[in-house]
């Protein structure tokens, strides 16, 4: 009997090892090869001149105001006049159209109207620089100074770097007589940092015209120099972006004087609700969604032990999650996150508030819809007396997830690998918001990628101090966008 049990166990163990081994061998095997490029060479780039132009663009302090009624248009008008003067060949070939005030749409008509257009997006606006941090910059934030081989200034990366690189690439092509076969649209929002109404209006205009882009390329991810999993350069291409929703929790209690407090207070109820909310059952994991697609794309660079774990999430799921959960960025890739950010109670230390409120900011993973999250939160907090939940503003859902087996992704992947000196391309989820999401309504696919090799310090400079881009990266970007327009017409 014991012998039979032993044999059965051995057989089960062998089967298990076989399954684990087979899954590991096949992990990432389904990925498609990047597209073969035509090899057309882009026009030569004068990197020094591109850097000078980016410096000039930075000097227009195009700070978007969250309230359009209070927007000062002068810097934007200055930038747009500068664009027209600096890129005359493109402006002649693709006359700009103002949309929703300051957003711009340029249309460079292709010779073959049966081809769906390529849409290149970038935004003209930048975030402000806090007065207190201005002195910490190595050069003035709106000076556009060339410093140690880099252009320094607010917007150098986000997103005037992309804006200028796209314009330089198109101008270079237009000047050499290039005529696109496939129409190229240029969509330059002017309020990406404060909501992206311009991109929404451009998308609505395209929809009204019945113009459906083949795909959209916007900012969002870059060629990172040290990927957290492979420790190697990776060209990360955003295929989706997270949604944004803020939950308002209101807890009510008896208002009054704090010298004679009743048993159950609004603030105590709110605290209990916040603690209980930490147990909100939101799925996490890498097998579905962009994080899994990224790991599969990088499977060749991942060590065998890690690959065994990742290929067998059905078995090692909890182990993987425990490993990855040490890094908040990995958690954010795997699941919807939530973070209490604001609290209010009474305005005086000896007054009991009749109501206490908390705001909890959610970043929605593509697998979670806001109504389902709210329903789960309500179910979890049911039974807590005097506690109400609602979205503080209409939630923004996560974007659709764009394809990675499409021709357009494979073209981008091939060009990204070329731009990244053979850094492997990999899809991923963008944790912040971009104008790109507005185009999901009209375009088949939306990708978020700027062909800049950036190290961690440079990535941290976005919206921070000393934002700067190295001149060689600008040159790389101009060549990438020119190649993209040429390949899209090949």
When the beta carbons of 110 and 161 are compared against Zn ion, the nearer one is: 161
CA 182/CA 48 separation, integer angstroms: 30
When the beta carbons of 27 and 447 are compared against Zn ion, the nearer one is: 447
Of 63-71, 151-159, 260-268, 330-338, which segment contacts Zn ion by CB under 5 A?
Answer: 151-159
Catalytic one of 125, 191, 241, 313: 125
Q: Is 79 helix (H, G, I), strand (E, B) or coil?
A: helix
Longest alpha-carbon distance in the chain? 90
Q: Which residue has the tokens 């930075």?
A: 58
CA 97/CA 123 separation, integer angstroms: 15
Of 223, 225, 227, 226, nearest in space to 235 by CA? 223
β-strands 150-152, 234-241: how paired?
unpaired
Query: Which residue of 158, 368, 466, 475 would you call a contact of Zn ion, by CB under 5 A?
Result: 158
Catalytic one of 158, 159, 168, 192: 192
When the beta carbons of 198 and 292 are compared against Zn ion, the nearer one is: 198
Q: Is 31 helix (H, G, I), strand (E, B) or coil?
A: coil
Query: Which residue of 102, 116, 142, 159 would you call a contact of Zn ion, by CB under 5 A?
Result: 159
Size of the site for Zn ion (CB under 5 A): 3
Q: Which residue has the tokens 């970043």?
A: 363
Q: Would you give the end-to-end CA distance of the chain in angstroms?
A: 71
Considering the complex, what minimum distance in angstroms separates the CB of residue 222 from Zn ion? 11
Of 54-62, 156-164, 309-317, 372-380, which segment contacts Zn ion by CB under 5 A?
Answer: 156-164
Considering the complex, what minimum distance in angstroms separates the CB of residue 219 from Zn ion? 5
Q: Which residue has the tokens 């190295």?
A: 470
CA 437/CA 400 separation, integer angstroms: 8
Of 55-63, 153-161, 344-352, 400-408, which segment contacts Zn ion by CB under 5 A?
Answer: 153-161
When the beta carbons of 219 and 475 are compared against Zn ion, the nearer one is: 219
313 is a contact residue toward Zn ion (CB under 5 A)? no
- Residues with Cβ within 8 Å of 280's Cβ and at least 6 positions away in sequence, in order, are 338, 373, 376, 377, 380
Active site residue 192: yes
Of 152-160, 374-382, 388-396, 412-420, which segment contacts Zn ion by CB under 5 A?
Answer: 152-160
Of 159-167, 180-188, 315-323, 472-480, which segment contacts Zn ion by CB under 5 A?
Answer: 159-167
Per CB under 5 A, which of residues 211..230 are in contact with Zn ion?
219
Active site residue 125: yes
When the beta carbons of 158 and 445 are compared against Zn ion, the nearer one is: 158
CA 206/CA 214 separation, integer angstroms: 12
**Is there a contact between 38 and 487 (Cβ–Cβ < 8 Å)?**
yes
**What is the helix (H) or strand (E) element at residue 106, kind and residue range?**
strand 103-108
When the beta carbons of 116 and 201 are compared against Zn ion, the nearer one is: 201
Considering the complex, what minimum distance in angstroms separates the CB of residue 159 from Zn ion? 4
**What is the helix (H) or strand (E) element at residue 242, kind and residue range?**
none
166 phi-psi bin (left φ>0, alpha ψ -120 to 50, beta other): alpha
Considering the complex, what minimum distance in angstroms separates the CB of residue 444 from Zn ion? 23
CA 83/CA 473 separation, integer angstroms: 21
Considering the complex, what minimum distance in angstroms separates the CB of residue 220 from Zn ion? 8
Considering the complex, what minimum distance in angstroms separates the CB of residue 55 from Zn ion? 19
Considering the complex, what minimum distance in angstroms separates the CB of residue 294 from Zn ion? 21
When the beta carbons of 240 and 270 are compared against Zn ion, the nearer one is: 240
Considering the complex, what minimum distance in angstroms separates the CB of residue 386 from Zn ion? 42
β-strands 351-352, 256-257: how paired?
antiparallel
Beta-ladder partners of 106: 96, 186
CA 277/CA 132 separation, integer angstroms: 36
Considering the complex, what minimum distance in angstroms separates the CB of residue 127 from Zn ion? 9
- The DSSP code sequence of 298-341 is TGGGS-HHHHHHHHTHHHHHHHHHHHHTTSHHHHHHHS-EEEEE
When the beta carbons of 102 and 265 are compared against Zn ion, the nearer one is: 102
When the beta carbons of 159 and 475 are compared against Zn ion, the nearer one is: 159
Of 158-166, 199-207, 378-386, 420-428, which segment contacts Zn ion by CB under 5 A?
Answer: 158-166
Q: Which residue has the tokens 């795909």?
A: 215
Binding positions for Zn ion, rule: CB under 5 A: 158-159, 219
Which are the catalytic amino acids?
125, 192
């Amino acid at each position: 009997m014991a012998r039979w049990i032993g044999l059965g166990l051995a057989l089960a163990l062998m089967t298990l090892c076989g399954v684990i081994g087979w899954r590991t061998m096949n992990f990432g095997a389904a990925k498609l090869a990047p597209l073969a490029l035509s090899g057309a060479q882009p026009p030569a780039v004068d990197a020094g001149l591109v850097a000078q132009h980016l410096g000039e663009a930075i000097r227009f302090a195009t700070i978007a105001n969250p309230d359009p009624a209070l927007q000062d248009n002068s810097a934007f008008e200055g930038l747009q006049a500068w664009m027209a003067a600096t890129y005359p060949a493109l402006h002649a070939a693709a006359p700009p159209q103002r949309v929703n005030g300051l957003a711009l749409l340029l249309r460079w008509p292709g010779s073959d109207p049966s081809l769906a257009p390529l849409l290149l997006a970038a935004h003209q606006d930048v975030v402000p620089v806090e007065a207190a941090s201005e002195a910490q910059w190595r050069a003035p934030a709106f000076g556009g100074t060339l410093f140690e081989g880099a252009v320094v200034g607010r917007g150098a990366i986000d997103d005037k770097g992309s804006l200028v690189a796209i314009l330089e690439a198109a101008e270079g092509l237009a000047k050499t007589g290039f005529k696109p076969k496939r129409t190229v649209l240029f969509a330059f929002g002017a309020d990406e940092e404060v909501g992206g109404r311009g991109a929404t209006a451009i998308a609505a205009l395209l929809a009204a015209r019945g113009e459906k882009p083949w795909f959209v390329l916007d900012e969002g991810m870059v060629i990172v120099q040290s990927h957290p999993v492979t420790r190697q350069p990776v060209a990360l291409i955003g295929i989706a972006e997270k949604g944004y929703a803020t939950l308002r929790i209101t807890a009510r209690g008896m208002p009054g004087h704090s010298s004679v407090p009743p048993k159950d207070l609004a603030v105590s109820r709110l605290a209990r609700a916040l603690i209980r909310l930490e147990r909100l059952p939101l799925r996490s994991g890498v097998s579905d969604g962009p994080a899994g697609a990224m790991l599969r794309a990088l499977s060749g660079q991942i060590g065998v032990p890690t690959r065994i774990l990742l290929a067998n999430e059905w078995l090692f799921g909890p182990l993987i999650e425990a490993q990855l959960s040490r890094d908040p960025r990995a958690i954010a890739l795997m699941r919807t996150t939530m973070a209490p950010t604001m609290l209010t109670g009474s305005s005086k230390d000896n007054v009991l508030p009749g109501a206490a409120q908390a705001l909890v900011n959610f970043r929605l993973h593509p697998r979670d819809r806001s109504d389902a999250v709210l329903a789960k939160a309500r179910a979890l907090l049911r039974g807590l007396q005097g506690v109400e939940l609602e979205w503080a503003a209409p939630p923004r859902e996560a974007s659709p997830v764009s394809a990675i087996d499409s021709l357009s992704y494979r073209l981008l992947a091939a060009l990204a690998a070329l731009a990244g000196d053979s850094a492997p391309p990999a899809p991923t989820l963008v944790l912040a918001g971009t104008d790109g999401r507005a185009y999901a309504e009209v375009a088949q696919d939306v990708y978020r990628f700027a062909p800049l090799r950036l190290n961690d310090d440079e990535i941290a400079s976005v919206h921070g101090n000393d934002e700067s881009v190295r001149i060689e990266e600008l040159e790389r970007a101009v060549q990438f966008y020119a190649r993209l327009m040429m390949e899209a017409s090949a």
